[in-house]
Structure 1
């Protein structure tokens, strides 16, 4: 799968409609960021069930600010709309492959329980208002 260019216009929809997204925060002036791009693209080609997206922090700084990305390159792994891992700094292909493997195997039970509890509390609040 090709790497998706993530912007303010498509970021939220991409996260909400895909269970597994890996985001690369980068900028064109950042040499380590540019050097990581082929590694990121190769991982996207090898893991077609995952959405790989790149956020240019120069053109869409709000996304980076929302996720408190203070340093690039930065990678954020999102499963089921929850950020489960953040990696800052240079990373090689073997280490990136290990992060992807770890993220695939990550037990989402606690995250799902959290979302269920949040939904239940919202339902109680709505019922109480009526």
Structure 2
């Protein structure tokens, strides 16, 4: 699957409608973003079961700020609507493949249990 462009208007729906979503936060003026783009695009073609989304931080400044994006490129991975990976900086192809494999291999029952535990602890404080 090729990459898809998303925006503040489509971000939440994209995360909700797909099992695994990787989001590349980038800007046109960002040199490292431009170097990472071909790696991201090539990897997207190797994983039909993953949505590889791109979000322009300049065009979506409010959402980017709300998500705590302070450096670009930043890569976030969501599985079943849960943020499971968040890292600033361009990844080389082997590391990006490793992230995709790790996200696919997650035990989501355990992840959801951890999320519920953290919510319960936060409500108890």
TM-score norm. by structure 1 comes to: 0.84
Which runs of 5 or more residues in structure 1 are unaligned?
A: 119-130
Q: 1:90 Cα deviation (Å)?
A: 2.2
Structure 1: which 4+ aligned runs deviate by more than 6 Å? none
CA distance in 2, matches of 1:108, 1:13: 20
Corresponding residue of 1:26: 26
CA distance in 1, matches of 2:53, 2:62: 16
The yes-or-no answer on 1:61 pairing with 2:69 is: no
Q: 1:30 Cα deviation (Å)?
A: 0.3
Corresponding residue of 1:15: 15
Corresponding residue of 1:51: 51
Q: How does 1:72-91 map to 2 (within 5 A)?
A: 72-91=72-91
Which runs of 5 or more residues in structure 2 are unaligned?
A: 120-125
Q: Secondary structure at the match of 1:54?
A: strand
**What is the number of equivalent residue pairs in this alignment?**
118
Which structure has the larger Rg?
1
Q: Secondary structure at the match of 1:71?
A: coil
Compute the RMSD of aligned alpha carbons: 1.8
1:62-106 residue CA offsets vs partner (Å, 9 max, x unmatched): 221121111111100100111001121121101111111111111
